[in-house]
């Protein structure tokens, strides 16, 4: 087992808001991938539901994740995206075992 932190975050855009939510997510990608400790940051969209977004992240350690969550670009993202979601998102935290 490694000490990296894997996060699978799922969000459901409200009706008619999928493209705005997609843009907010994609605007995060390059900046987040450049952060110290970011090992993986990938965005997926549901195959059967284009309003479902899945973000897979991997962070070197808790300190790197904490710095990411405290960053201004993440705070700005949450301020904007929350009004565009149909429901509160779900985050699953995991550690790699193989």
**pTM of the entire predicted model:** 0.89
Q: What pLDDT, on a 0 to 100 scale, did the predictor assign at position 76?
A: 95
* Average pLDDT of every residue of the chain: 94
* Two structure tokens written together for 93: 């935290």
């843009």: which residue's tokens? 23
Pairing of strands 90-94, 5-12: antiparallel
Containing structural domain, residue 80: 5-94
pLDDT in tens, 21-57: 999 999 999 999 999 999 999 999 999 999 999 999 9
The 3-class secondary structure across 23-61, one letter per residue, is HHHHHHHHHHHCCCCEEEEEEEECCCCCCEEEEEEEECC
Residue 72 near residue 16, CB atoms below 8 Å: no
Count: domains in the chain: 1
Q: What pLDDT, on a 0 to 100 scale, did the predictor assign at position 3?
A: 84
Q: What pLDDT, on a 0 to 100 scale, did the predictor assign at position 4?
A: 94
Q: For residue 10, list its beta bridge partners.
A: 54, 90
Residue 92 near residue 7, CB atoms below 8 Å: yes
Distance CA 46, CA 76 (A): 24
Instruction: Grade residue 97 by pLDDT with cuts at 50, 70 and 90.
Output: confident
Domain of residue 64, CATH code: 3.30.70.100
């Amino acid at each position: 087992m490694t000490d990296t932190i894997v996060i699978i975050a799922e969000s459901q855009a409200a009706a008619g808001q999928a493209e705005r939510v997609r843009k907010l997510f994609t605007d995060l990608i390059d900046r987040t991938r450049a952060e110290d400790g970011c090992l993986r940051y990938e965005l997926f969209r549901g195959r059967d539901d284009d309003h479902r977004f899945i973000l897979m992240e991997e962070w070197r350690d808790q300190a790197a994740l904490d710095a990411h969550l405290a960053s201004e670009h993440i705070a700005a993202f949450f301020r904007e995206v929350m009004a565009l979601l149909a429901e509160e998102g779900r985050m699953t935290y995991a550690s790699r075992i193989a």
